[in-house]
C-alpha cells in the first residue's frame, strides 16, 4: 500500500473501496485493479495433478498449475506459458476448457492482490510425474492425487478448493 502519494508525496493519500488510491492534494486517482489469474485441473489415470508450493504464501500446500496473466496475454496464452515454465509441458489451447471462475486474494510481500481466478480443465491421458520438468524455485513436488484421496485442508487457496468441488461435480 502507498503511504505517500507516488505523484506529490502527500501523506493524505487514501485507499478506498478496496480498489482505488485517491490523493486529495494533487488529484491522483490510481486503480489497483483486479488481476486475472489462471489455474488448470490436469487429469490423467494417475489422478489430478497438484503442485506443492515451495514459496509463500501457503508454502507446502497444494496448488494447481497456473498463475497471473501477463500484460498482452489472453487467459489461454497465460496458462500455456505457465505450463511451460512450471512443468515444461506444452498445452494446446484447444485442450483447455473453462469451467469455473472465483475471486481470490493473493497476499504477496507488502500487497494484497485481488484476483479473478479462471479455472480450466485438461485431460492428459498417460501423463505421469516423469513427463514433468518442474520449476524448482516455486514448486517442491508434483503429486497426482485420486479425487477420493484428496484432503481439502491440504489445498492452498479457497478459490481452488471451490473449483475442485465444481470440477468433481461436472457431468462427465
- Identify which of residues 5 and 76 has a Cβ nearer to Zn ion in the complex: 5
Count residues near Zn ion (CB under 5 A). 8
End-to-end CA distance of the chain: 44
Least Å distance, CB 33 to Zn ion, is 19
Give the length of the chain: 172
Q: Which stretch binds Zn ion (CB under 5 A): 23-31, 33-41, 90-98, 111-119?
A: 23-31
DSSP 104-137: EEEEETTEEEEEEEEEEEEE-TT--GGG----TT
Q: Which stretch binds Zn ion (CB under 5 A): 22-30, 40-48, 58-66, 119-127?
A: 22-30
44 Cβ contact partners less than 8 Å away, ≥ 6 residues apart: 123, 124, 125, 126, 127, 128, 144
Residue 30 found at the interface with Zn ion (CB under 5 A): no
Positive or negative torsion for Cα 151, 59, 38, 65: negative
Q: Which stretch binds Zn ion (CB under 5 A): 24-32, 61-69, 146-154, 162-170?
A: 24-32
Residue 5 found at the interface with Zn ion (CB under 5 A): yes
Alpha helices (runs of H) in the chain, residue ranges in sequence order: 75-87, 158-169
> Given candidates 2, 7, 22, 135, which one binds Zn ion under the rule CB under 5 A?
7
Query: Is 28 in contact with 22 (CB distance < 8 Å)?
Result: yes
Least Å distance, CB 31 to Zn ion, is 15
Least Å distance, CB 25 to Zn ion, is 5
Contacts to Zn ion by CB under 5 A: 5, 7-8, 10, 23, 25-26, 28
Amino acid at each position: 500500500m502507498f503511504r505517500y502519494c507516488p505523484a506529490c508525496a502527500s501523506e493524505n493519500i487514501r485507499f478506498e473501496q478496496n480498489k482505488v488510491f485517491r490523493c486529495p492534494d494533487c488529484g491522483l486517482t490510481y486503480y489497483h485493479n483486479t488481476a486475472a489469474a489462471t489455474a488448470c485441473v490436469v487429469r490423467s489415470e494417475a489422478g489430478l495433478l497438484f503442485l506443492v508450493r515451495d514459496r509463500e504464501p501457503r508454502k507446502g500446500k497444494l496448488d494447481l498449475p497456473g498463475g497471473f496473466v501477463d500484460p498482452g496475454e489472453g487467459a489461454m496464452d497465460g496458462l500455456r506459458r505457465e505450463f511451460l515454465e512450471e512443468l515444461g509441458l506444452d498445452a494446446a489451447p484447444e485442450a483447455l476448457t473453462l469451467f469455473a471462475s472465483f475471486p481470490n486474494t493473493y497476499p504477496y510481500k507488502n500487497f494484497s492482490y485481488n484476483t479473478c481466478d479462471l479455472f480450466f480443465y485438461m485431460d492428459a491421458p498417460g501423463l505421469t510425474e516423469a513427463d514433468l520438468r518442474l520449476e524448482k524455485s516455486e514448486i517442491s513436488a508434483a503429486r497426482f492425487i485420486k479425487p477420493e484421496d484428496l484432503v481439502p485442508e491440504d489445498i492452498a487457496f479457497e478459490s481452488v478448493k471451490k473449483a475442485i468441488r465444481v470440477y468433481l461435480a461436472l457431468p462427465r
